[in-house]
Structure 1
Amino acid sequence: MTSSTRPASLDAAALTAGFADGSLTPSEVAEDVIARVEAREPELNALYLFDAAQVRADATASTERWRVGAQLSAFDGVPTTVKENIARAGQPKPAGTAIPNPPIAPRNAPTTERLLEAGAVIVGSTTMPDWGMLSSGVSSLHGITRGALNPAHTSGGSSAGAGTAAAAGYGPFHIGTDIGGSIRLPGSWQGLTALKPSEGLIPLDVPYTGRAAGPLTRTTADAIRLMSIVAQPDPRDYLTRSYRPMEWSTDPLAPAGMRVALQLEAGSGLAVEPETLAIVERAAALFAEAGAEIVPLDPFIPAAVLEGLVNFWRSRSFADFEALTPAEQALVLPFIAEWCGAGADFSAAQTVRNRNMSDEMARLTRAATEPFDLVLSPVTPVAAFAAEDPMPITDPLATMGHISFTVPYNMSGQPAVSIGAGVQADGRTVGLQIASRIGTDDRLLRVAHWFEQARGSEAEVDWSRVA
């Protein structure tokens, strides 16, 4: 049995087809996932909570449901992970920090409830860096989460463990969260499909401006399948809105006749690396060949807007940091302590002005992208960096110049997906970001699915080579 034909590596459609015809059971799949976790976790460090006995028990229950024809959904028994800040009833939520006595979730988050209602087998909770404010897997609690394609490289973050679990093949379904790129960055740096959906489409029990939950998967079809489970309304998300019914079809949608913007400069942050630029331009050429009208899009977010937003995040995290005892403060990752410490120096008036940059970013993003069906860009200007580094920019007082393409869509509420577009000469993956109008997530993923088929084998990760 090769790596790509092991049950743990099969997509959700292949798994459930096997469950339906009796050639495979959820228990057999769970055993293979457990074996893969036990083989790779000592190095990768993607899971915070992992209870093999509970995974086996849940898979056994699913196996019995399939046996008697009482499965809870088409995806009953499919292995899944959720990020550690997505509540699981009775489980701790330390948010990546080593601060003792983390809060215990009194009930499941909406995402967890939808997965359990569908019969998914939750393999575990995945790691994140301190307070989710790093683009890596460096954590005062967990240590270092590494990329599954090359453990010397970052997992990306803050959905660090989610990205690594997806790339390592801990089953097909993985859910992360994203406030500035935290789903799409691991997606780009580990060759995944990673969607930051429309605001509130996947409801949150702790919503706030820019925050979203979304899928990280090896294939676009599995992202679509996962969205069909978790993109359900829940009254706890007071920032959500009524969306038209989504059609979670896995039929590819070619961009013929679409007006597609191509943004190669963000106007703030880091310059795009030459290999990344070439890969994104090659991807845009495929859209043009398919009949899309490609229109260059100038930068639309000034550096001062990005800097103001990041400075507001500093103040918000400093409010949490300041409330800790000195002993607890000493346990926070030093990079984060210094990063948020800068937020202590802003006046109340400046903090309000910084907070207003999220609204300004939303306004500018909607205005710039409204004329287009899609917007193509790099996910991030840089390829994966060393796993030990907290950020691609290692100065905690510098602005987060690597999120300049991703964060605008958090603030505007628009969906944006990262999909693998190429592999650099040194083996590092590069994601293409495709964004669209709010509430068009189903069409966006169908276009991403088309691109996945059009991009060519040289742009793909060979998952059979991932141990």
Structure 2
Amino acid sequence: MDQDATRTADGIVLARLSATELVAGYARGDFSPVEVLAAVHRVVDAREPELNALWCPDPEGARRAALASEERWRAGRPLGPVDGVPATVKENLARAGVPMPLGCAGVDPAVPERNSPVVDRILESGGVLLGSTVMPDWGMLSSGVSSLHGTTRSPWDPRWTTGGSSSGAGAAAAAGYGPLHVGTDIGGSIRLPGTWLGLATLKPSAGRVPLDTPFLGRCAGPMTRTVDDAALLLGVISAPDERDWTSLPPERLALGPDDLDVTDLDLRKMRLGLQLDAGCGTPVTPEVVAVVEQAAATFERAGAVVELLPAFMEEQLLADLDLFWRVRSWVDYAALPVERKRRVLPFIVQWVHGGADVSGARLMECYRSIMTIQQRTVAATEPFDAVLSPVAPAAAFPAEWPMPFGHEDGGMAHIGFTAPYNLSGQPAGTVNAGFTSDGRPVGLQVAGRRFDDVGVLRVLRWYERNRPPASHPNWPITA
């Protein structure tokens, strides 16, 4: 990129650059981490009062980190692949000394004494951590509605939801609060903001990214504006950590831009599944179906064999997963003092009461359903190199709604395409594939075989480079 083109009075051009572009620019001496941070802070200052994406930002710490990175780049000794690149992490990923309220006003937040593995890996690589990003109560809403933080809004249009539960991370990524953001996902919480905000995301294989509090289905993964940046960030945060007893053995994922060159991806040898019916939950809207079918046609024209994948979920399986989660959150809610219970979001209070007084036998039935989802997902998708599908049944809904069905308790009727891959441990990511008639982004989900994170990223990157021009996001990055 021409050096003069990166230096504007408002810094917008610098704030639009991807992580891979920033690192290349630092290496050439075109601009510095301090200049980039200043540009990003101008965007944050302009947008944050409306978007409401950040929790405990650390501008002074970020400035010190950017100054140190600037010196390293001048000396030609960067710490790692993301040295000097602005980043955020979701508030449930521990930063030492920073309270973790989990988006809930009823929680007496824990204050961790040490960083989570994700935060350590970013800092060890020289990343400039702006702060944490907000989430809804206990991460159990697919929106940016929180009893503690208020409402987080879409940078595309503040009337629209960000999706959730990685709501702040999604808003920060789309708005230009730096290029690298980490969310978490137990049923779609990375990919739902991905589709509703036009992002490139990856819910990695179970155990790929070490966590200090792992549990069934939970993953941390990248939320970015380009697939190259998602790959770059995954390469950093997937480094092993002994604190996660479920983590995969160390593996060199070869996730640099050159390693992900898609010129060697021969689609004529690929068999892709196309799933348009989840078999449960809310029906997919015609606009979303049309976008996903158009994406599948792009693969077909390049020579891939695309076959319809029949639904492998069913209503009872999704209902049992929802009940399992209600019981888990009911335990957290029931442990709160009465005065703190009153502070929890009313929608969550209603939802968790559905898990009160559930018998052990019924809970075991729910657990068996989870095992059935695991088995069916792996079996149904194994014949394919990757599976293409919608991420969610519909495009973004109003920002004030806690869920896609408003304030009604519709359970988890919107995660039939996403949750199965959490339970099976398979990687699944998103990339923007089009827009509705009123301009709302619509993502394509690409899921792969177990542990094939690189394969999913390759397919996402191929589509990102070959999708119709009208599918490319014009990011709403302003100051």
TM normalised by structure 2 equals 0.95
Amino acid at match of 1:82: V
Amino acid at match of 1:405: F
Asked if 1:156 is matched to 2:163, the reply is: yes
SS at match of 2:389: strand
Looking at structure 2, the residues matched to 405 and 201 of structure 1 have their Cα atoms a distance apart, in angstroms, of 21
Task: Tell me what 1:190 maps to.
Answer: 197
Task: Tell me what 1:204 maps to.
Answer: 211
Gap runs ≥5 in structure 1: none
Task: Tell me what 1:113 maps to.
Answer: 120
Match of 2:385 among 373, 392, 404: 373
Looking at structure 1, the residues matched to 10 and 326 of structure 2 have their Cα atoms a distance apart, in angstroms, of 43
Per-residue CA shift, 1:143-202, capped at 9, x if unaligned? 000011111100110000000000000111000000000000000000000110000101
Q: 1:465 to 1:10 in 2, by over 3 A?
A: closer
Task: Tell me what 1:251 maps to.
Answer: 261
Asked if 1:63 is matched to 2:73, the reply is: no
Asked if 1:88 is matched to 2:95, the reply is: yes
Asked if 1:278 is matched to 2:290, the reply is: yes
Amino acid at match of 2:142: S
SS at match of 1:295: strand
Matched pairs, number: 467
Deviation of the 1:430 alpha carbon: 0.5
Amino acid at match of 1:288: E
Looking at structure 2, the residues matched to 42 and 332 of structure 1 have their Cα atoms a distance apart, in angstroms, of 23
Deviation of the 1:286 alpha carbon: 0.8
Indicate if the aligned counterparts of 1:215 and 1:226 stay in contact, CA closer than 8 A: yes
Asked if 1:50 is matched to 2:53, the reply is: no
Q: 1:209 to 1:100 in 2, by over 3 A?
A: closer
Task: Tell me what 2:458 maps to.
Answer: 446
Task: Tell me what 2:320 maps to.
Answer: 308
Indicate if the aligned counterparts of 2:327 and 2:355 stay in contact, CA closer than 8 A: yes
Gap runs ≥5 in structure 2: 1-7
Where in structure 1 do 4 or more consecutive aligned residues deviate above 3 Å?
1-5, 464-467
Amino acid at match of 1:154: T
Looking at structure 1, the residues matched to 410 and 12 of structure 2 have their Cα atoms a distance apart, in angstroms, of 45
Deviation of the 1:359 alpha carbon: 1.4
Per-residue CA shift, 1:359-389, capped at 9, x if unaligned? 1111110011111111110001010000000
Q: 1:3 to 1:362 in 2, by over 3 A?
A: farther
Amino acid at match of 2:261: D
Within-5 A mapping of 1:27-46: 27-46=34-53
Identity of aligned residues (%): 51
Within-5 A mapping of 1:432-443: 432-443=444-455
Amino acid at match of 1:292: A
Looking at structure 1, the residues matched to 384 and 28 of structure 2 have their Cα atoms a distance apart, in angstroms, of 44
Indicate if the aligned counterparts of 1:254 and 1:447 stay in contact, CA closer than 8 A: no
Looking at structure 2, the residues matched to 119 and 354 of structure 1 have their Cα atoms a distance apart, in angstroms, of 43
Indicate if the aligned counterparts of 1:255 and 1:447 stay in contact, CA closer than 8 A: no
Looking at structure 2, the residues matched to 162 and 362 of structure 1 have their Cα atoms a distance apart, in angstroms, of 28
Looking at structure 2, the residues matched to 244 and 57 of structure 1 have their Cα atoms a distance apart, in angstroms, of 32
Looking at structure 1, the residues matched to 110 and 317 of structure 2 have their Cα atoms a distance apart, in angstroms, of 34
Deviation of the 1:274 alpha carbon: 0.3
Higher mean displacement: 335-344 or 251-260: 251-260
Looking at structure 2, the residues matched to 422 and 414 of structure 1 have their Cα atoms a distance apart, in angstroms, of 25
Indicate if the aligned counterparts of 2:156 and 2:476 stay in contact, CA closer than 8 A: no
Amino acid at match of 1:42: P
Higher mean displacement: 381-390 or 442-451: 442-451
SS at match of 2:82: coil
Looking at structure 2, the residues matched to 224 and 4 of structure 1 have their Cα atoms a distance apart, in angstroms, of 26
Looking at structure 2, the residues matched to 111 and 236 of structure 1 have their Cα atoms a distance apart, in angstroms, of 11
Indicate if the aligned counterparts of 1:254 and 1:450 stay in contact, CA closer than 8 A: no
Higher mean displacement: 156-165 or 100-109: 100-109
